[in-house]
Structure 1
Amino acid sequence: MTDEIVCPVDRTLSLINKKWSIQIIRDLFFGKKHFKEFKEGKDISNKVLSSCLADLEKNGLIEKKVLDTKPISTEYSLTDYGKSMNRIIYELAMFTLADEKDKVYSEKTKEQLKENSKQTLEIDD
């Protein structure tokens, strides 16, 4: 029997194919840790968010830690594997910022966003 050959891009996308996965990973890079923080500014139900977090955890990108506090609190963090997605998140942002037709951001804002992303995502050029 031969092993099925799968495109590496398809394999990566399968890890993050749920609608909110990339945004949650981005939020973790930018310091969010708690369920309610992931909901901020997003039209996402508790059920969908829970499912997405569970998939990211199952795929080894994030880990969940239940804190011994009252009331009980849960924190999420990126695993080393999840942290290795820093370049992907960065390149997605740069793709938009490089678009000459994009008039959403001023040139000054684009430069600030590039620098902030580079620092937060620990990108070395």
Structure 2
Amino acid sequence: MRWQELDQQPCSLARTLSVVGDRWTLMVLRDCFLGIRRFDEFEKRLGITRHVLTDRLKKLVEEGVLKKVPYQQRPLREEYRLTEKGLDLHPVILALVNWGDRHMADERGAPIEHVHKACGKVMQPVTVCSECGEPVTARDIQVQVGVGWKPEDEAEQVLP
């Protein structure tokens, strides 16, 4: 499987990685969820080259994850805002942050806490079944062919 062909794979994870599977892209998304919107702010916070940042932002806009919104007319200046498609990545970012807090934090603990606005408590993301509401882990799930599977996908070996 070639990196440039991930978006052609019969696998939702591969297709997703074709959009967000780059470390700088994930860092840009992290900053978007922290309220960063302007090119120079991304550049300053991330210490990323202009070329790489331009490339990642362009791809996120082309994929509909971010949209450009003018904040100044003369000269035209635009900022980057998460779209609904982009906001749908929030659970993914939260899950990665939670994993990092559990397995990569130093002795001081998590550097950032996520507080649920409704109850005011520090929260941890939990994956639950959409049908019964029970928490689920990898051991609680089985995989089966879905309606999007095509017979020619058999050669791709996505399922064991």
Given the two structures, how large is their TM-score scaled by the length of structure 2?
0.61
- Count of paired positions: 113
Task: Check 1:5–1:48 CA distance in 2 against 1; reply closer, same or farther (3 A cut).
Answer: closer
For 1:52-67, what aligned pairs fall within 5 Å after superposition? 52-67=56-71
Q: Which amino acid aligns with 1:23?
A: M
Give the percent of matched residue pairs that are identical in Structure 1 and Structure 2.
25
Q: What do residues 1-20 of structure 1 show as CA deviations (whole Å, max 9, x unaligned)? A: xxx75111111111113441
Contact 1:63 / 1:79 at 8 angstroms: preserved in 2? yes
Gaps of 5+ in 1: none
Higher Cα Rg, which structure: 2
Question: In structure 1, how many angstroms separate the alpha carbons of the residues matched to 2:37 and 2:83?
Answer: 13
Q: What do residues 66-102 of structure 1 show as CA deviations (whole Å, max 9, x unaligned)? A: 3343332211100000000000000001001112xx4
Q: Which amino acid aligns with 1:82?
A: G
Gaps of 5+ in 2: 1-7, 118-123, 127-160
Q: Larger relative contact order (C-alpha < 8 A, sep ≥ 6)?
A: 1
Say whether 1:9 aligns with 2:13: yes
Residue of structure 2 in register with 1:43 after alignment: 47
Misfit runs of 4+, over 3 Å:
none
**Alignment partner of 2:97 out of 93, 103, 121:** 93
Question: In structure 1, how many angstroms separate the alpha carbons of the residues matched to 2:62 and 2:70?
Answer: 16
Contact 1:67 / 1:74 at 8 angstroms: preserved in 2? yes
Contact 2:68 / 2:80 at 8 angstroms: preserved in 1? yes
Contact 2:94 / 2:125 at 8 angstroms: preserved in 1? no
- RMSD (CA atoms): 2.4
Question: In structure 2, how many angstroms separate the alpha carbons of the residues matched to 1:32 and 1:63?
Answer: 13
